[in-house]
Structure 1
Amino acid sequence: MPSFRARLDITGLRPGFAPPSVMEAATAAVGSSHVVEGHQLDVVGGVPRITVRFTVEPGAYDDENRQALRAARHLQDAVEEVAHSRNLMVLRRIRGRWHPLA
């Protein structure tokens, strides 16, 4: 199964939402159409960053990438309902290394 990561910087919460709601929104959005393999929260340069790792159904290479990009945009849209975000990045695992999708 092709494996991808979506990373997103979180710059602030929207009023009425608690920090856990960010990861809940992200994993629910991706999990609605793909298998979520894991998720984590890091702080990079003082900015919280969420990462959601997921798989897509095998198919043509470009189709797999398109599925991953759609899932990542869906993740960002869901997160934007509870928090402010920036710098969405999607990475694909190829031979043990993570490569950004263009």
Structure 2
Amino acid sequence: MPSFRATLQITGLRPGNAPEAVMDMAVAVVGSAHVVEANQLDIVAGIPRITIRFMVEASEYDAENQFARSAAAALAQGVNEVATTGALRCYRRSAGKWLTV
């Protein structure tokens, strides 16, 4: 199965939500349709960024990329319920490199 990752900047928490709710929501949203391989939180240039690594069912190359883009969009929409967000990016693992989808 092809491996993808989505990164999303987190710019703040919505009232009433704990910091853990961000990653919990991210994993739940992507995990509802795909196998989540890993997740992590990084601080890049002073801005928190979550990364969710996931796999999509093997099919045709463009279809796999579309599934990954849809998963990333769902990630952003779900996380936006508990936090304010910034830049969203989606990548595909290919020949040992992460390529933008």
TM range (shorter): over 0.9
Deviation per residue, 1:33-80 (Å, 9 max, x gap): 000000000000110000000000000000000000000111111000
Question: Deviation above 4 Å: which 4+ runs of structure 1?
Answer: none
Does structure 1 residue 42 correspond to structure 2 residue 42?
yes
Matching of residues 8-87 of structure 1 within 5 Å? 8-87=8-87
Stretches of structure 1 lacking an aligned partner (at least 5 in a row): none
Q: Secondary structure at the match of 1:29?
A: helix
Distance 1:26 1:75 in 2: 6
Partner of 2:3: 3
Q: Secondary structure at the match of 2:16?
A: coil
Q: How many residues of Structure 1 are paired with residues of Structure 2 in the alignment?
A: 101
Distance 1:41 1:97 in 2: 20
One-letter amino acid of the structure 2 residue matched with residue 25 of structure 1: M
Distance 1:93 1:59 in 2: 15
TM-score, with length taken from structure 2: 0.99
Sequence identity of aligned pairs in percent? 56
Distance 2:68 2:23 in 1: 18
Deviation at 1:9, TM superposition (A): 0.3
Q: Please report the RMSD computed on the Cα atoms of aligned residues, expressed in angstroms.
A: 0.4
Stretches of structure 2 lacking an aligned partner (at least 5 in a row): none
Distance 2:46 2:58 in 1: 37
